[in-house]
Homo-oligomer: A and B are copies of this chain.
């Protein structure tokens, strides 16, 4: 900046104003400054601005390691959207993958300790101790895709309840009345909410909830278990996630039950498993784009105004219609 100023024998203040399109510089001079800057290959130094203003223009995005395995590109895709939205707001995203170890021992990331970010988006359930530590940070935080009732940090969530509610409605509209839900309803709050959406739809349609139609898919520690098919096979299954739908379809196939001819299956998430099944899965897609937009909007507003509160915000997903559901009306 000083070099530019010297070259044109003006002050760096004027250069700063011109480059930032601020008032107080003649259009003519402004143009000249801009072209000289271009010519000299000038690259703005955000650091200096940051230091002056006290903003880093970075948002940290923290994803627990266990959500980033080989089979889990879901959250990483999410990050992509977040980073795009941040970019459009003149911000950069700093992705931090939180190792199991750091999470257990509650070691906050370098980007926090060194003030490299103005705020944080936590993407994916973290343990309570870590959540508490984050709550104590003197930096704005948003939880994305999960919440935690220990402390009231603002959260942006998939509307699990209404997502499965609508999915179940769709099955019923397609003529199904014997519908099972697959998922351990005690395992996570999101499975529980999905289950309740299923239940609400049944209630509204005066369909009795059959105990044998609520089928566990994992143990309390989250490990998948073999799925027990009920003796009286339903005409449709609604699974709490695509991976389980994938497993279920393979199981049905092995037993000689064709999907969707003999039995329909729906998933939730629209992740990689949704297109790996044969037939491909009709499922509920999380609206990552909208969720990212909202999360970024919230966090940036919180950066400017520490006292903003949003509570829990639910974003509805969309049903993606593919091949795994049969319409019984025809």
Q: 15 A-B contacts, Cβ less than 8 Å apart?
A: A41-B138, A46-B114, A47-B51, A51-B51, A57-B114, A68-B76, A70-B77, A72-B73, A73-B73, A73-B76, A83-B95, A93-B94, A94-B95, A95-B95, A276-B276
Let me know if B51 and A80 touch, CB within 8 A: no
Which residues between 114 and 138 of chain A lie within 8 Å of chain B, taking CB atoms?
A: 114-116, 138
Asked if A227 is at the interface (CB within 8 A of a chain B CB), the reply is: no
Chain B: which residue is nearest A114 at the CB level? B46
Let me know if A47 and B115 touch, CB within 8 A: yes
Residue interface mask A71-108, B partner, CB < 8 A = 1: 11100110110011001001011111101000000000
Bound Cα distance A84, B65 (Å): 11
Bound Cα distance A112, B87 (Å): 13
Let me know if A70 and B115 touch, CB within 8 A: no
Bound Cα distance A115, B46 (Å): 7
Known: A47-B115, A93-B94. 8 other contacts (CB 8 A): A46-B114, A47-B116, A58-B116, A70-B271, A71-B272, A92-B111, A94-B95, A276-B276
Residue in B80, B92, B112 whose beta carbon sits within 8 Å of that of A94 in the complex: B92
Bound Cα distance A90, B69 (Å): 25
Which residues between 166 and 208 of chain A lie within 8 Å of chain B, taking CB atoms?
A: none
A residues neighboring B (CB under 8 Å): 41, 43-48, 50-51, 56-58, 65, 68-73, 76-77, 79-80, 83-84, 87, 90, 92-97, 99, 110-116, 138, 271-272, 275-276
Given A70-B73, A83-B96, A47–B56 Cβ distance below 8 Å? yes
Chain B: which residue is nearest A112 at the CB level? B43
Residue in B45, B70, B80, B97 whose beta carbon sits within 8 Å of that of A114 in the complex: B45
Residue in B41, B84, B97 whose beta carbon sits within 8 Å of that of A80 in the complex: B97
Within the complex, what minimum Cβ distance (angstroms) separates A31 from chain B?
A: 20
Let me know if B110 and A87 touch, CB within 8 A: yes
Chain B: which residue is nearest A73 at the CB level? B73
Bound Cα distance A116, B43 (Å): 10
Bound Cα distance A15, B92 (Å): 31
Task: Chain B residues near A110: list those with CB within 8 A.
Answer: 87, 90, 92
Task: Chain B residues near A48: list those with CB within 8 A.
Answer: 51
Task: Chain B residues near A112: list those with CB within 8 A.
Answer: 43
Within the complex, what minimum Cβ distance (angstroms) separates A170 from chain B?
A: 23
Bound Cα distance A164, B6 (Å): 59
Task: Chain B residues near A93: list those with CB within 8 A.
Answer: 94-95
Bound Cα distance A8, B50 (Å): 28
* 5 A-B pairs with the lowest CB-CB distances in the bound complex, closest first: A73-B73, A46-B114, A76-B76, A95-B95, A70-B272
Task: Chain B residues near A41: list those with CB within 8 A.
Answer: 138
Within the complex, what minimum Cβ distance (angstroms) separates A98 from chain B?
A: 10
Chain B: which residue is nearest A111 at the CB level? B92
Best-buried of A73, A77, A110 by chain B (most CB within 10 Å): A73
Within the complex, what minimum Cβ distance (angstroms) separates A191 from chain B?
A: 22
Given A43-B114, A47-B47, A113-B43, A97–B83 Cβ distance below 8 Å? yes
